[in-house]
Amino acid sequence: MNRQLAQALLGLFIIVLAPARAYCAGERGGDSLTVSLLTCSPGTTEIYSLFGHTGLRVQTSGGGDVVFHYGVFDYDAPHFIWRFVRGETDYAIGCEPFDAFLDSYRAQGLGVKEQVLNLTQEECRRLYQALLVNYLPENRTYRYNYFFDNCATRPRVKVEEAVDGIVKYDDREDIETFRGAVHGCLQGHPWARFGIDLVLGADVDRQMEGVERYFLPKYLHDGFRNALVVPRDTAFRDLVLSESDLCQPRNGAAEMAAAGDGFWTPRTCSLLVLLLVVAVSIYGVVKGRAFLGLDIVLFSLAGCVGLLLTFLTFFSQHPAVDSNWNMVVFHPFHLLFLPLYIRNARMWKMDYYHLANALVLVVFFFCFSVLPQQINTAVVPLALSLWVRSLSYSILAFEHRWR
C-alpha cells in the first residue's frame, strides 16, 4: 500500500511539476542529468518475465532518481485475455522511484545491470523531456508489439532520437532468426516454447536485420555496449560510459536453463501419445474395432487447436501469427467433419475425410524439411498420431465394405 501511494504521488509530481522543472533546468543551467539503461534479468515464473525487462534511469544532481520503463499492463483489466488474443494489447509507460524499482527486482531474486550513457547534458535533457511528455496521461498508452514495439525497442528509439547525430551499432551480420532468439530465452521452459512455436508462423523464421535484434533486453544491453554515437560536428564517442551490476540474480534462472528441459517435455508426451495410438490402432485392425472414443478425443483436441490458430491468423492483430504451417496438422475441419465421421463409423462406411487427411499428412511429412517454417519437434508425433488413426479407420472400413 505504501509503495502504491508513493507511485501515485510520484505520478502527480511528474505530470504537474516535472515538465516545468525540466524546462527550467534546460534554460537556466540547473540540475545536471545522468541517464542510464537498466537491464533486468529474466524471471522463472510468468511467461512475460522470461524475456527480461528494460528501463531508463534518470538522475539529477538535485537528488531526483526515477526509472521510466515500458510494457506496463494490468492483468486484471476487463477482458484482458480476450484483448490480448485479439492483439489489442494496449500497454503503457511506467515511472517509479529508482529505489522502489530496484527493491522490487531484488526481492524477486532478479539481477539488474546499469549502463551509464555517454550523453551530453543537452541530449540528457532532450531525452528526459521526451520521457516526461510520453508519461502524460494522453500519451502514456501504446499498442504493444512483442517484436517491434516493446519494453526494449522503445528505450532504444528514445535514445536514438535524443542524440545529436546517429547511433552506430555493431555491423556484424546476424544469422539468427526471431524464433531462435525467442528460443534462447526459453531454455528450461519447453512447454512455453512449444506453445509459442504453435502460434507463431513462418514470418519469425527469417533472419533479423539491423536493430531488429534489439527487441530483447539482453540483446539491447549487448548492442549498447558496442555502440558509438556519431555526432554531426564532433568526434565519435562510445554510447556507454560505464557499466555495473546493481544487484545479482538469485532466482535460479541460469541454473534452470542449464538443467535442461527435463523429462516431461511436449516431445516426450507426444511420443507417448503416438505409442499409445499405434498400439491401439494395430490392435483395432487385428480385432476389427474402430475405437471411436479415442478418435473423438484426438480429433477434437486437434480441431480446438486449429480453431485457435485460425482465429489468430484471420482475426488477430498480433504480428507473425499468420502464414502458420502448423494449420496443415491442426485445423477446424477436424471438428467440422467429426459428426459425419461418427455416423459413418457406426455403419462402417468409408469416410473420405480420413482418406483426405491421411493424404495431406503424407505430403506434410515429405515436405517437412523444406517448409519455410521451423516446426516444433513435438508436432511430428502428434501429426503421425492423426495419420495413423485416419489410416487405420480407412483400412477397417475398406475391409468391412468387401466382406
Q: Quick: pLDDT tens for 16-75.
A: 344 434 433 333 345 799 999 999 999 877 787 899 999 999 999 889 999 999 988 766
Beta-strand runs (E) in 120-205: 141-143, 166-168
Order of all β-strands in the sheet with 237-238: 166-168, 228-230, 237-238
Q: 67: burial class by Cβ within 10 Å (0-12, 13-18, 19+)?
A: buried
Of 207-211, 214-218, 234-238, 367-371, the poorest mean pLDDT is in: 234-238
Residue 252 sits at the vertex; the CA angle it makes with 247 and 255, to the nearest 5 degrees, is 125
- Among 108-122, 243-257, 388-402, top mean pLDDT goes to 108-122
Over range 226-245, report the average pLDDT. 89
pLDDT at 181: 94
High-pLDDT (> 90) share of the chain, %: 66
**How many other C-beta atoms lie within 10 A of the C-beta of residue 27?**
9
**How many other C-beta atoms lie within 10 A of the C-beta of residue 3?**
12
pLDDT at 400: 78
Which pLDDT band holds residue 232 (cuts at 50, 70, 90)? confident
Which pLDDT band holds residue 237 (cuts at 50, 70, 90)? very high
Which pLDDT band holds residue 82 (cuts at 50, 70, 90)? low
pLDDT at 24: 32
Question: Which residue is it, cell 491421411?
Answer: 358
List of residues 6+ apart from 330 with CB closer than 8 A: 198, 302, 303, 305, 306, 309
